[in-house]
A and B are shown apart, each in its own frame.
Chain A
Amino acid sequence: MEGIFSNLAIGFIEVFKLQAITLGGMTMTLPFNILMCLIGVLLGTLIGVLPGIGPVATIAMLLPVTFNLAPIAALIMLAGIYYGAQYGGSTTAILINLPGESSSVVTCLDGYQMARQGRAGPALATAAIASFFAGCVSTLVVALFAPPLAEVALKFGPAEYTSLMVLGLVAAVVLASGSLIKAIAMVVLGLLLGLVGTDVNSGVLRFAFGISEMADGIGFVTVAMGMFGICEIIANLEQKEKREVFTSKVGSLMPTKEDFKRMIAPILRGTVLGSALGILPGGGALLASFGAYTLEKKVSKNSHQFGKGAIEGVAAPEAANNAGAQTSFIPLLTLGIPSNAVMALMIGAMMIQGIAPGPQVMTERPQLFWGMIASMWVGNLMLVILNLPLIGMWIKLLTVPYRILYPSILLFMAIGVFSISNQPFDCFLMACFGLLGYVCVKLGCEPAPLILGFILGPLMEENLRRAMLLSRGDPWVFISPSKPISMGFVIAAVLLLVIVALPALRKKREEVFVEET
C-alpha cells in the first residue's frame, strides 16, 4: 500500500509540475500538464455532448497534433477526451433522448424519462455524482492492479505475447455485437492491412505497389479517421436531421434525500461491475454500461420503475461506463494490448512519441505512468466541478445543427491527416478507408475489430516469428506444458469462442425444430 502512495505522489507532482512552454514564439511558465488535462476533459465533454462525433474520431483527429507535445502531456489530454466523453454523453442522453456517446445508450432509457417528468436536473446531477465516484474508485483500481500485472507481463516471452494477442483479439470480437464470423474476418483483414509496408525482418516492401508513400505502411491515424470519422459523417448525412432539444427548464440540480438513498447501492454495484468489465479485453465503457443496467434491473427493489424514470437506471450505468473507461487502461498500460478502439489509438499515440507500449513503461517511465493515473483523478474532479455549472452551455451547443458541424469536423480531420507526412496521399487513403468503412457498415461488419487487428498486426507477426525461431519451428510451443501461461491464454481463447458459438448453435437448432414441427 505504501508503495502506491509514493507512486501516486510521483504522479501528482508530475501532473502539477510547472513547465516552460514555447507557444507561437512566446515562452511561458505554466502547469502545462494540468492544462492539457483540462483541455482534454473539456473537449471530451464537448464531443460527448454532440451526437455524431465520438472519442475515436476525435482522438484520431488530434493524434498528429500531439507530435509536438511531450509524451505525458499528449497522453493525459487524450485520456481526458475518453473519460470526458462519458460525462458528456449522459447529458445528451438525458436531455434529448439521443446517445451522445454509444456508451450512454442505456442512460437514455431512464434519464430521458426523468427529464420528461421535470427531473432533468437531478438526473444530470446523479449522472455526474455517479461518474465522479466511479472515476475515483477505478483510478485506485488502476493504481492497485497495474503494477503486479506489469510484473507478471515482464516475464512474458514471444510465445506468451503471441497467445495473449490472440486471446485479446478473440475476446474483443466475442464481446462485440453482431456476427462472430464477420467480426473475426474483420480482425484478420485488419492484421493484413497492418502488414503493408516494409517488413522489419527482411526489409522487403510488401503490398506497396510501387507507391513510395506506402513504404512506412499505412498510417494508423489514416485508417482510424477513414473508418470512423469519414464513415460516421457519411452515415449521419444519410438521415434527415431531427433533433429536438428538451429545452424545458433543467430546474434544480439537487437530488432529493430519497434520491440519494436510492442511488448509493446502484452506484457501488455499477462501479464494481464497470471496473471488472473494463479490464477485460474487448471491454470498456460500452459493455460496462449495458451490463450494469441489466444487473440493476434484476436486483433492484424498484425494477418495475425501470424505463419509467428510475434513478437507479441512471446511476448504475453512468458509474459503470466511467469505471470501465478508466480500467480499460490497465491492459494498455501493463501489457501493451488495446482492449478497444480508443485504446488502440492510445497505443498509436505512444508509438508516435517513440514509446513502445508494454510492461516496461511502468519501470522505465514512472513519471509517465503514474502521471497519467493521477491525471485521471484530477480530470474527474475537474469534470464534476466544471460540468454542473456549464450544463447550460452544453445545452446551447446541442442546438448547433449538424450541417454546420460536419464541414468543420471534416476540415480538422483533413488537416490532421495531411500533417502526418505533409503529402496529399494520406488524405487519399483516408477517403479510401472511409469508403471501405461505409461498405463494411452497410454489410453489417463492425469497423472496431479491424482497427484492433490493424494495430496488432506487425506486433503479432514479429512475436510469432520469434516464438517459432526459438522453438525451431514447432507450432505446438504455444500450448506446450513448458509454457503454462501461453497455454492458459490459448485455452481461454478457445473456450471463449466455444461459449459464444454455443448459444448461436442452440438458437439455430431451435429454429430448425420450429420449422419441422
Chain B
Amino acid sequence: MKLKIKSQQDWWAGLMFIGFGLFFIVFSLGTPDFINNIVGTKLIGGYQMGSSVRMGPAYFPAVLGGMLAVLGLLVLLDSVVEDGPKVAKFHFRPLLFIAVSSLAFAYLLKPLGLVLASIALVFISAFGGHEFKWKEVAIMSVVLVIFSVLVFVKALSLPFPICPAFIDICPIR
C-alpha cells in the first residue's frame, strides 16, 4: 500500500515538530548508547534527569520534547488521512534580502558606525521589494540616518558609534 500525502502543509509541519521534539530530547538526555558505541565516544552529554521530586535540568525539556514529537506524529498521521492545503510558494527574494540586510546592519554597526550600517540596511532591504528606485532609496536612507542619529543616539543615548572606527575625528557630534 502506498501512502499518499493528502495535506502537504500538515506533512511538513508534522516533520518539523518531530524534528524539534527529537532535538530537545537528544540534547537534554544525551545521545543513546548505540550511537555512542558506533562513534566510540559520548556524542552529546545531556543533562541530569533527576527524579520527579527533585527535577533535574533535563526533566522538563525531555518531557516537553516527547510531547512535541508525539504531537508532530499526530499532525503527520493527519496529513495522510485528511485533505489539506498545499504549501504556498516560498518567496526567496524578500526572505534573502531582509535577512541579509539585518545581518549586515548588525555586523557593520561596530566597525563602520551607525550611519554607514543604516545606509547598508536600507539599500539591501530595498532590493527585496518589487521596485527599486535609486533616488527614492537614497533620500529615504538620508532621512532615516538623520532620524536615528537624533532619536536613538542623541535623545535616547544608546551607546552606538556614529562614525566608522577608522576615522579619528567624527564630523557628527
Partner-B contacts on A (CB < 8 A): 23-24, 65, 68, 179, 181-182, 184-185, 188-189, 191-192, 195, 199, 201-202, 204, 206-207, 230, 233-234, 237-238, 240-241, 402-404, 406-408, 410-415, 418-419, 422, 424-428, 430-431, 434-435, 438-439, 442-445, 461, 464-465, 468-469, 472-473, 475, 508
Partner of B130, one of A182, A195, A237, A439: A237
Is the beta-carbon distance between A442 and B87 smaller than 8 angstroms?
yes
Binds A, one of B7-15, B29-37, B163-171: B7-15
**Number of residues from B at the complex interface, CB < 8 A:** 73
Is the beta-carbon distance between B60 and A428 smaller than 8 angstroms?
no
Q: In the complex, which residues 32-80 of chain B have their Cβ closer than 8 Å to any Cβ of chain A?
A: 47-48, 51-57, 60-61, 64-65, 67-68, 71-72, 74-75, 78
Is the beta-carbon distance between B54 and A408 smaller than 8 angstroms?
no
Is the beta-carbon distance between A204 and B91 smaller than 8 angstroms?
no
Contacts of B91 in A (CB 8 A): 234, 237-238
Can you report 26 residue pairs joining A to B where beta carbons are below 8 Å apart? A181-B78, A185-B71, A185-B72, A191-B64, A192-B61, A202-B57, A206-B28, A230-B98, A234-B95, A237-B130, A238-B91, A238-B94, A407-B122, A408-B140, A414-B102, A415-B148, A415-B160, A427-B105, A427-B106, A428-B103, A431-B103, A439-B16, A443-B10, A444-B10, A468-B52, A472-B53
- Does B155 lie at the interface of the complex (its beta carbon under 8 Å from any beta carbon of A)? yes
Is the beta-carbon distance between A185 and B68 smaller than 8 angstroms?
yes
Is the beta-carbon distance between A240 and B68 smaller than 8 angstroms?
no
| Cβ of B18 to closest chain A Cβ, rounded Å | 10
Is the beta-carbon distance between A207 and B27 smaller than 8 angstroms?
yes
Is the beta-carbon distance between B60 and A237 smaller than 8 angstroms?
no
Q: In the complex, which residues 118-142 of chain B have their Cβ closer than 8 Å to any Cβ of chain A?
A: 118, 121-122, 125-126, 128-131, 136-137, 140-141
Central interface residue in A206, A207, A234, by most chain B CB within 10 Å: A234
Is the beta-carbon distance between B156 and A414 smaller than 8 angstroms?
no
Closest to A425 in B: B106
Contacts of B16 in A (CB 8 A): 439, 443
Contacts of A473 in B (CB 8 A): 51-53
Closest to B77 in A: A181
SS of B interface (majority): helix
Counting from the closest, the 9 A-B pairs by CB-CB distance are A427-B106, A424-B106, A237-B94, A473-B53, A473-B52, A443-B13, A185-B71, A199-B57, A204-B57
Partner of A444, one of B54, B85, B98, B137: B85
Contacts of A430 in B (CB 8 A): 102
Is the beta-carbon distance between B61 and A431 smaller than 8 angstroms?
no
Q: How far is the CA of A204 from the CA of B16 in the complex (A)?
A: 27
